[in-house]
Each structure stands twice: as structure tokens, then as C-alpha cells.
Copies of this chain bind each other. A is one copy, B any other.
Amino acid sequence: MPRLEVVLAERSYGIEIGAGSWAERIARTPNLKSPLAVVVTNPTVHALHGAALEAALWPAFKRVEVREVPDGESSKHWPCVSWLCEELASMGAGRDVLLVALGGGVIGDLTGFVASIYMRGVRFLQVPTTLLAQVDSSVGGKTGINLPQGKNLVGAFHQPAAVWADSTVLGTLPAREYAAGLAEVIKYGPIADLAFFEWLEANMPRLVARDPQAIGVAVRRSCEIKAAIVAMDEREDGIRAVLNFGHTFGHGLERGLGYGALLHGEAVGIGMLMATRLSVAHLGLDNSYLDRLERLLAAAGLPTEVQGWSPQQLLAWMRTDKKAVAGAIRYVVIPKWGEAALASVADEAVLQVLDDTVRAMRG
């Protein structure tokens, strides 16, 4: 099975990609040894994959416990953090406990955050069950919860002990959620790899059909790119911010339209179109990439337009983003397709691009 190393000095770890036996993976990963494994999941994922994971864990651990938090983003909140910490303390979990995050980005972010603070840090294993989590949140060590004032305002950088990105679990994902994950896959093309973008253009029908081999290629290349960028800038002091391509606009849309109106990946897709339009207008990027990106998003089953916002409103929503707080907004732009950069852009120029977007959507 393909294995990718994320190289971060003593915090390095491996990502195992593709189909395979969970029991064999445990046997192959010595740094998972622990007397107690605690699986954190939600009812939906537990029903689909809990039994298989627990069957694999039992032979390797003296004791396996499972704790469910509610489905959905509302679990990324203080009550779930304090409840999980107190559950761990009540079961006598020591510094050698292994937490296992079985689920999508919410479960991974929450479990990783609990792992980062329980007894000042314990190990955790990521078993991402959504495409989005496999190509995004399971790599990079960002964990966190939401505040009423914004998403991910509290958290920690805490690297997992290992990640198992299993393509077979993606078969049960709802179509809309799967497509949202493809938006983050597509992102890696413009920011880092023109050839991968072209591969996606040629292979999107296979990905949409959930061809396991194609998924394996896409997940692997996405994780490779993200891991390479994270290795350069683990704590996001600089270059790592290019991973936020499409996210400045996307987060603004998500927040402004109300979480749930657009899935995160859907908002990022539309945000990438806005950031690409900005790159065409102000950095001389060839206009053809805007069309190609739009076609690729559509082929992935993603929306390329959304109603319910005005340019002035969206700019205001973007200003309340964590990354914009107490400073100017930094935009991720694409001077050359396959290479990202960070730029400050005058509000007038951004509003002009958003006006163009509104016209194009009405068009």
C-alpha cells in the first residue's frame, strides 16, 4: 500500500493511502502501541465503519473504548471538548492513551484538539472518512474548535501519530459531500502543479465514478503537495498560507450565507473562481484558466455560482475572518497557473472583480 511520509523532525508521521486491511496497518505502525485506544466518532460514521475499525483494534489493544459526539459542525465546540476530556479522565486514560479520530474534518479537528490538550498532549490516529478530510484536514496538524465569533478560533498545531486514508470508506459518502472534497483536490493544481491540474481535467469522470485507483492517485498527489508545503512552514508563518487559495472568498461566503447553505468545499470552489478572476485582472494570468477551472468544477459536480450576496457584503464578511482580524486581508493569487503567491489588494480592485463575478453569474 502506498505510504507517504510527512517530514516534520520528531513529529514526522506516515500517511497510508488506498485500500487495505486496518488490522495489517496497526501491525505495521509501531508508534501506535498503547494499552488503551479511544475511538471518537459520530453516529453516522460509527454505524458505517465502527464495527470494522473496532474489530481491527481489539487484537492490538488491551482495551478499546468508543465515544460518539453528535453529527455535524456543532460538535466543534467547548462542551464536546470538556466532555471528552472528562470521559478520558474517568476511564483512567494516561499519557500513553491513543485517540482514534474516525470521521470527517469535524471529528478530526475535535479529536486532534482534545489529543493536544489532554494531559498536555497525547497521540492520535486519523482515520478520515471523507475525501475532504483525506486530502486536507488530515495533513498539517491543524486542530481546533469554533467560537461564536468564528470558526477555528481556538485550537493547536498537533501532528497525528499516523493517518490512514482508506479509499474504500469513501464509497459510502453522499454525492454532494464527495464533490465538495473534490474542490480541495482541484485546489492543488493551480497553487502547485499544472500537470496535476491537467491530469484532473482528463480523469474527472473516473473520479466522479469513484474509481478507487483514480482516487488513490488524487489523494496521494494532494497529500504530497500539502505535506511539502507544511514541511516548509509548519505553523503557518508564511508560505503555508497558499493552501488557503479560494478560502478568503469562500469563508466569507460560508459565513455570510450561513453555514450549511454551501458546504465548505462548494464555497472554496466558488472562492477559487473569484481568486482566479482577481489573478487575471491584476496579475496578467491568462484568461483561459478561468474557463478551464470553471469547467473542471462543473465536471466534478460543484456549483460555480451562488446567489444572495453583493460585493460590498462579501467584503464585509471576509473582514471578520480570523486571518483578516487586526490586519489587511492577504489574498492567495496565481500569477502563473501552478504557482501561488500572497498579495495585498486594494478594496476597490477586489470590488471590481466581485462586480465582474456578479455579472458573469447573471450572464
> Which residues on A are within 8 Å of B, measured CB to CB?
35-36, 78, 81-82, 85-86, 89-90, 92-94, 96-97, 113, 116-121, 142, 144, 147-150, 153-157, 235, 322, 325-327
Docked-complex contact B93 and A149, CB < 8 angstroms? no
Q: Which of A94, A113, A153 has the most CB of B within 10 A?
A: A153
Docked-complex contact B157 and A120, CB < 8 angstroms? yes
Q: Which of B142, B154, B325 contacts A85 (CB 8 A)?
A: B154
Residues of B within 8 A of A120 (CB): 142, 144, 154-157, 235
Question: Which 7 A-B residue pairings sit nearest by Cβ, starting from the closest?
Answer: A94-B326, A89-B149, A94-B325, A120-B155, A78-B82, A117-B154, A89-B147
Docked-complex contact B326 and A96, CB < 8 angstroms? yes
List 23 interface pairs A-B (beta carbons < 8 Å), by A numbering.
Answer: A35-B326, A78-B78, A85-B153, A85-B154, A86-B147, A86-B148, A89-B150, A89-B153, A94-B327, A96-B327, A113-B117, A116-B156, A117-B117, A117-B154, A117-B155, A117-B156, A118-B154, A119-B322, A120-B142, A120-B154, A120-B155, A121-B235, A156-B156
Docked-complex contact A147 and B85, CB < 8 angstroms? yes
A235 to B157, CA, bound (A): 16
A117 to B154, CA, bound (A): 5
Docked-complex contact A93 and B325, CB < 8 angstroms? yes
Residues of B within 8 A of A86 (CB): 147-149
Docked-complex contact A326 and B93, CB < 8 angstroms? yes
A81 to B227, CA, bound (A): 32
Closest Cβ of chain B to A137, distance in Å, is 14
- Kindly list 15 other residue pairs between chains A and B, CB separation below 8 angstroms, not including A117-B154, A118-B153: A78-B78, A78-B82, A85-B147, A85-B154, A86-B148, A89-B149, A89-B153, A92-B325, A94-B325, A96-B327, A116-B156, A117-B155, A119-B154, A119-B322, A121-B157
Closest Cβ of chain B to A86, distance in Å, is 6
A326 to B118, CA, bound (A): 14
